[in-house]
Structure 1
């Protein structure tokens, strides 16, 4: 059904683009995303737009002001088929303006690697990528909504109200999540965030995370655009599962800790990931928001444990050690 909708909607979207967007926009800019490294490459990610959309929040702003600013984040003008360059490496933006530059990893040192990137006919930017070192003990892949950032995603109306009427200064980050992530960072574990939030919120989420003193980490968000074959780019589970698979391939051999909640099917997604990658997932940590885990999620947690995965779950992350060792 979604493929049929995509075939109908994509030509309509492209026709609207031709009417309302410049055919050859000048002064384009790069919206930079945090990238990551594989054993062979450094992947720099971003999006080319005609201008950057940023909010200017104040703590006392009304819900209406916040709603208007949040809506503005989605009124972007993407630039397709534009060349971006980092040294000798080039890439072309897709229909929605996204690009990924594949640079040779070479002898890049562990940590954050910075690279100037140019864009044809526009303003360049410095893009960064996380290079995982050989001494990392394990890797962490974490959800965002109701895992780190309170959204009420288990309730559609509550989620929409919280997400659209708050701002970067008022959104609530769980202190126990900050403590847990800081503990992982202290252990030398690389952290990656995966969410079904749209890429339009990348900078917004970064500001919230910086204010909360969360570790800096690449995000894998969702494209809500309409392609020739996909309508709203798949489901929540498809997106999260594909991101987990990609990260496991990018950082091979390391044990994996998955952090999430029971409000958006994370037990189902994490069980499927553990089944696809036998032995890689060693621990799953789940917050139980709202009414907590239902019978299906409880069964999936038992299934994870049957695979040998340590499962920690409860209303919060209080008292959880940021390691992968089983208790004696």
Structure 2
């Protein structure tokens, strides 16, 4: 949809991403503001919000400006679906981060004469993580059926649809002990570290705010949230493309070549296959793989057989968060 000539309020959603002291990797999306209140109750409002998340009016080919706290400004333009990616070497970013290593910025529509209505001022918040050079390790984790029961392995994915459409984000219950486990890994062995946690999901970007709200409401450590395009979800990705999760994990490892990682997923989908492939492609970079078992016994058994072939790194298929915590303590991670 063209972005000239419309009068609906606009917004820019800055996704939580990551970078380095010399490089910015910022992502987000420009949309017409649908006023989705994730905390609002009522079945009708819940269904309306679910519809709004997928029936989005993107702002295509819109010039935007990113504003850093030290006065620097960078331009970027949205694509055919309203998304933007600012992938740029900048330098001197370390001085702009807070105690938890987050760099906050503002992004705005770069236009002087327009009939669009901007909610409040034409400045929208965003943030990206710049981990310290002395962290002990990073954590890369799945969301679906790893920290949040989604029903990804259910027949025809019906539970995924039902949970997304009929459950509010703040009423979704995380898997027992998951939030505390992730805080233990985030704090590390000393209890005072700031090891980065990256959340990678097969969910589409349309669910970004839903998942961001869920993670925040359940007090998971703040971290980059990396989702995928709707075209990829619907199986419309180009032939020969690298699977989303494998692509995102590879990018993280390339961004932080000196950092080692703990990978956490589940036994229901392809996490074991992807994680083992990553471990072989990046020898010495993966310290442990933890896979939460799902209800389907046949899938769990297949994963157990698959992981038994790997002897270089510890791989655990677990039922409870406590099992991960016990092993992580034994390994000196926490």
TM-score after normalising by structure 1: 0.83
CA separation in 1, counterparts of 2:3 and 2:138?
43
Cα offset for 1:119?
1.5
Report the counterpart of residue 113 of structure 1 in structure 2. Answer: 103
In the alignment, is the contact (CA less than 8 A) between 1:283 and 1:310 conserved in 2? Answer: yes
Alignment-derived partner of residue 184 in structure 2: 183
Structure 1: which 5+ residue stretches go unaligned? 1-16
Residues 182-219 of structure 1: per-residue CA shift (max 9 Å, x gap): 10111131000000111111111111111101111111
Give, in whole Å, the separation in 1 of the partners of 2:149 and 2:108: 37
Counterpart of 1:55 in structure 2 is 37
CA contact (8 A) 1:67 1:166 kept: no
What residue in structure 2 maps to residue 152 of structure 1? 151
1:235 CA displacement: 10
Q: Does 1:315 align with 2:319?
A: yes
Aligned pair in 2 of structure 1 residues 182, 164: CA closer, same or farther (>3 Å)? same
Aligned length: 301
Are positions 1:252 and 2:234 aligned together? no
Identify the residue that residue 214 of structure 1 maps to in structure 2: 220
Relative distance call for 1:233 and 1:211 in structure 2 (3 A) is farther
Match of 2:114 in 1: none
Q: Give 1:284 deviation, angstroms.
A: 0.4
Q: Tell me the SS of whatever aligns to 1:73.
A: helix
Q: Secondary structure at the match of 2:61?
A: coil
Cα distance in structure 2, aligned partners of 1:117 and 1:103: 18
Whole-angstrom distance in 2 between the partners of 1:68 and 1:234: 35
Matched, 1:162 2:163: yes
**Conserved? CA contact 1:55–1:69, under 8 Å:** yes
Q: Whole-Å Cα distance in 2 between the matches of residues 147 and 235 of structure 1?
A: 27
Question: Any conservation in 2 of the 1:29–1:52 contact (CA below 8 Å)?
Answer: no
Query: 1:193 matched to which residue of 2?
Result: 199
* Residue equivalent to 1:3: none
SS in 1 for 2:308: helix
Could you tell me how far 1:296 is from its partner in structure 2?
2.7
- Judging changes above 3 Å, is the alpha-carbon distance between structure 1 residues 22 and 129 closer, same or farther for their aligned structure 2 residues? closer
Deviations 1:68-89 (A, max 9, x none): 3212211111112111112331
Match of 1:9 in 2: none
Correspondent of 1:204 among 186, 206, 210: 210
Q: What's 2:115 paired with? A: none
- In structure 2, the residue matched to 1:275 is 280
Q: What TM-score do the two structures reach when normalised by structure 2?
A: 0.82
Structure 1 contact 182–214 (Cα < 8 Å) conserved: yes
Aligned to 2:191: none
1:91 and 2:62 are equivalent in the alignment = no
Give the Cα–Cα distance (whole angstroms) in 1 for the partners of residues 318 and 129 of structure 2: 31
How far apart in 1 are the matches of 2:178 and 2:240?
Answer: 26
Shift of 1:223: 0.6
For 2:282 and 2:16, the matched residues in 1 are separated by 26
CA pair 297-237 structure 1, distance change in 2 beyond 3 A = farther
1:132 — aligned with what? 131
Cα RMSD over matched residues?
A: 2.5
SS for the counterpart of 1:318 is helix
